[in-house]
Amino acid sequence: MSGRTSEVVAGRDEVAPRPVVGRTTVHAGTVFDLVRDDIDLGDAGVVTREYLDHPGAVAIVVLDPQDRVLLLRQYRHPVRTVMWEVPAGLLDVDGEPAVEAAARELAEEADVVADRWDVLADYATTPGFSNESVRIFLARDVHEVPEAERHERHGEEAEIVTAWVPLDEAVAHVLAGELHNPSAVTGILAAAASRAGGWASLRPVEAEWPYRRGVLPD
């Protein structure tokens, strides 16, 4: 067993970038780019990988005092499905704190404001094909945005329908294979697990997030 392996903690990811010796933008998109990197793996040689360079996103599990989670119903064209999701949005404002982006998206998508915020979970959506990272917040102590101040939604967002679903019922939908949005699946299961532990796993909103673009090394 090598010295490097002996330092590894099983179950804990480690940011350990390998040198990028060449990069090409294959396609520049409106949200993300398709890039091609040549990566020096040392003794394993130089390999070429294509992936989506993505700004990242935030998602929000909103719980009310009755332990109901707020779900949104929205059409997702790539999978040709109307999905139940948790509120979410892109980190497309340079330098914006993630919790502020989450609060903005929550108000715009669901007409809801939360007074209490915690970090629930972080995940990389498809680490073999994209650098997209998502931070999931838990939002509580919620109230509605006044009707006169509500955001005017367009496109698929104009068709959003909201529902409050008991958290245990939402977990059952996940385990039955009836709910598929990754932020909803991850967030709902994480919320149920954290609740079972008395919410001791929650982290502060400024908790380290090494996988956010701009923080993650090239």
Tens of pLDDT, residues 128-151: 999 999 999 999 999 988 777 777
Both 82 and 174 in a single domain? yes
The answer to whether position 217 is within a domain reads no
Both 89 and 34 in a single domain? no
Chain position carrying tokens 């892109």: 90
Both 61 and 47 in a single domain? no
Both 48 and 64 in a single domain? no
pTM of the entire predicted model: 0.90
Both 29 and 62 in a single domain? no
The answer to whether position 208 is within a domain reads no
Q: How many domains are contained in the chain?
A: 2
Query: What Cα–Cα distance (Å) separates residue 143 from each residue in 47, 83, 86, 187?
Result: 51, 24, 16, 20
Both 86 and 153 in a single domain? yes
Q: Within the chain, where are the H helices? A: 3-6, 98-110, 167-175, 182-196
pLDDT at 3: 40
Both 82 and 103 in a single domain? yes
Both 18 and 86 in a single domain? no
Tell me the pLDDT tens digit for each residue of 68-83: 999 999 999 999 999 9
Tell me the pLDDT tens digit for each residue of 146-193: 777 777 777 777 788 999 999 999 999 999 999 999 999 999 999 999
Which residues span the domain enclosing 38?
3-53
Both 122 and 175 in a single domain? yes
Both 66 and 170 in a single domain? yes
Give the H/E segment covering residue 52.
Answer: strand 46-53
CATH of the domain at 155: 3.90.79.10
Both 142 and 177 in a single domain? yes
The answer to whether position 215 is within a domain reads no
The answer to whether position 105 is within a domain reads yes
pLDDT at 2: 40
The answer to whether position 13 is within a domain reads yes
The answer to whether position 218 is within a domain reads no
192 backbone dihedrals φ, ψ, rounded to 5°: -65, -40
Give the 3-state secondary structure of residue 160. Answer: coil
Tell me the pLDDT tens digit for each residue of 108-125: 999 999 999 999 999 999
First CA to last CA distance, the chain = 28
Both 191 and 134 in a single domain? yes
List active site positions.
157
The answer to whether position 86 is within a domain reads yes
pLDDT at 142: 95
Beta-carbon-side half-sphere exposure of residue 171 (alpha carbons within 13 Å): 13
